[in-house]
Chain A
């Protein structure tokens, strides 16, 4: 089974941009004032999940 991709909870995101700056696939961008994961680019490395200071990113389906 494919590993779950990252998903931003837009109610928690404070738009600091940390996740965007560490994403090795350039799969994150700021969209509508919140971070947004481009699912087709995401390789499920979870670096963004660990880096988020407020815990706004989780694995899809969790």
Chain B
């Protein structure tokens, strides 16, 4: 598996923040319509800050790992800070991905933004 970083392998073997949040106030479930990869993100936002994040993922390993890394990167961030997150930030967080797998990071950022949009609508 030479194309993946050590942090990638660590997140794949030991996913962080997996699951659902019953008390979530921002949830998004996005799918890549072409390949079928799916990411579900549930956030607990209090005082404009992401207190807790959980994810579920179906798809190739980069999608699973991007979900795990994303929840670590956004926990503790304000909503505005989270909105500033880019695909490049996430790619750096997973230790890089081969170009043919970078759509996984794009799906994760789309899911984050969709969840934050939902928070705006609900609050």
- A and B part of one assembly: no
Give the interface of B toward A (CB within 8 A): none
